[in-house]
């Protein structure tokens, strides 16, 4: 049996009043593929994420997660999805464990299974021994690790990350970038990573460049370089977005 496409976006449009935020977007992400969604601020990345997670609703276009339509089969589609939002969504006054237990409860996991999965994911990120600490006591990098662990607890097929490394120091950023790329490679997980930081792109990644609500390029790093006739992804990005601030 073929594994279904992790994410399929067809002719997706969205407007804020008269202002078009997304204009007929089309792309697909296969399992095991790490796709970097690059775009300057205001390109439409967060709007796209809100539509994929069904926080917004669009009348134009179609979104499917692992073969499930987000409008008609919302719950089945959302069950396949793990999300790390741009802003931290952890409860500061609760411990790491309490935050993660909340998430497993929302996904209907029993106590035993929850504990097992929490241990697995926290150990992978070297956070298991800090499980009883309050989130408030953790630094930004560690909080992000907890959020990534949380997004993986229910074993999603597609992981969405909305600029997860913003505000982190270089080593913390690198840890997270490496970990997510490992997940795609080892667990066959599809990843859609929104970023405006060019250095987070790995040579094997797929890249989508979004600008003013339109896709300017979509392909492997090499394909994008060829398309733009540039030698670095930074130059390609600048050319495609006509020098918009990255």
Considering beta carbons, is residue 15 or 220 the nearer one to other proteins?
15
Do 71 and 9 touch, CB atoms closer than 8 A?
Answer: no
Is 41 in a helix, a strand, or coil?
A: coil
Q: Which residue has the tokens 């970023």?
A: 195
Pairing of strands 60-65, 7-16: antiparallel
Of the candidates 1, 2, 108, 203, which one interacts with other proteins according to CB under 8 A? 108
Structure tokens at 103: 């998430």
- Going by C-alpha positions, the residue among 234, 209, 219, 215 that lies closest to residue 37 is 209
16 lies in the site for other proteins, by CB under 8 A = yes
Count, in order, helices (H) and strands (E) of the chain.
8, 10
Q: Does 21 bind other proteins (CB under 8 A)?
A: yes
Binding map of other proteins across residues 65-104, x = CB under 8 A, - = no contact:
---------xxx-xx-x-x-xxxxxxx-xx---x--xxxx
Counting contacts by CB under 8 A, is residue 132 touching other proteins? no
Q: Rule CB under 8 A: say whether 112 interacts with other proteins.
A: no
Span from 10-18, 125-133, 182-190, 225-233 in contact with other proteins (CB under 8 A): 10-18
Does position 115 bind other proteins by CB under 8 A?
no
Q: Is 238 in the site for other proteins (CB under 8 A)?
A: no
Q: Give the C-alpha separation, 7 to 9, whole Å.
A: 7
Q: Does 53 bind other proteins (CB under 8 A)?
A: yes
Rule CB under 8 A: is residue 14 a binding residue for other proteins? yes
For 100, the enclosing helix (H) or strand (E) is helix 96-106
Residue 128 binds to other proteins (criterion: CB under 8 A): no
Q: How far is the CB of 28 from other proteins (least distance, A)?
A: 21
* 185 is a contact residue toward other proteins (CB under 8 A): no
The candidate with the shortest Cα–Cα distance to 97, out of 150, 152, 41, is: 150
Residue closer to other proteins by CB (options 135, 215) is 135
Segment (H or E) for 150? helix 140-152
Token reading at 190: 């599809």
Binder to other proteins among 34, 109, 210, 236 (CB under 8 A)? 109
Find the length of the chain: 246
Longest dimension (CA), the chain: 54
CB 233 within 8 A of CB 198: yes
User: Does 54 participate in binding other proteins (rule CB under 8 A)?
Assistant: yes
Give me the 26-45 binding string for other proteins, x by CB under 8 A, dash otherwise: --------------------
List 215's β-bridge partners, or say none.
210
> Would you tell me which residues interact with other proteins (CB under 8 A)?
14-17, 19, 21, 47, 50, 53-60, 74-76, 78-79, 81, 83, 85-91, 93-94, 98, 101-110
């Amino acid at each position: 049996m073929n594994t279904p496409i992790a994410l399929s976006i067809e002719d997706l449009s969205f407007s804020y009043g008269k202002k078009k935020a997304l204009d007929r977007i089309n792309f697909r992400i296969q399992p095991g593929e790490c796709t970097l969604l690059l775009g300057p601020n205001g390109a439409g990345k967060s709007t796209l994420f809100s539509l994929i997670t069904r926080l917004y609703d669009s009348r134009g276009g179609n979104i499917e997660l692992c073969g499930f339509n987000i409008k008609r089969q919302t719950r089945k589609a959302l069950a396949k999805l793990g999300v790390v939002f741009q802003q931290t969504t952890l409860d500061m006054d609760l411990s790491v464990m309490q935050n993660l237990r909340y998430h497993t409860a929302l996904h209907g996991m029993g106590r035993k299974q929850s504990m097992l999965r929490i241990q697995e994911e926290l150990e992978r990120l070297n956070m298991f021994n800090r499980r009883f600490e309050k989130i408030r006591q953790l630094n930004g990098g560690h909080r992000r690790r907890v959020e990534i662990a949380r997004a993986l607890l229910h074993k999603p097929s597609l992981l969405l990350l909305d600029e997860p490394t913003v505000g982190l120091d270089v080593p913390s950023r690198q840890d997270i970038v490496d970990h997510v790329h490992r997940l795609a490679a080892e667990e066959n997980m599809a990843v859609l990573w929104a970023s405006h930081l060019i250095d987070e792109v790995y040579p094997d990644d797929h890249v989508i460049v979004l600008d003013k609500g339109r896709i300017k390029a979509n392909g492997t790093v090499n394909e994008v370089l060829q398309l733009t006739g540039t030698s670095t992804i930074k130059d390609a990005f600048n050319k495609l977005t006509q020098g918009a601030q990255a």
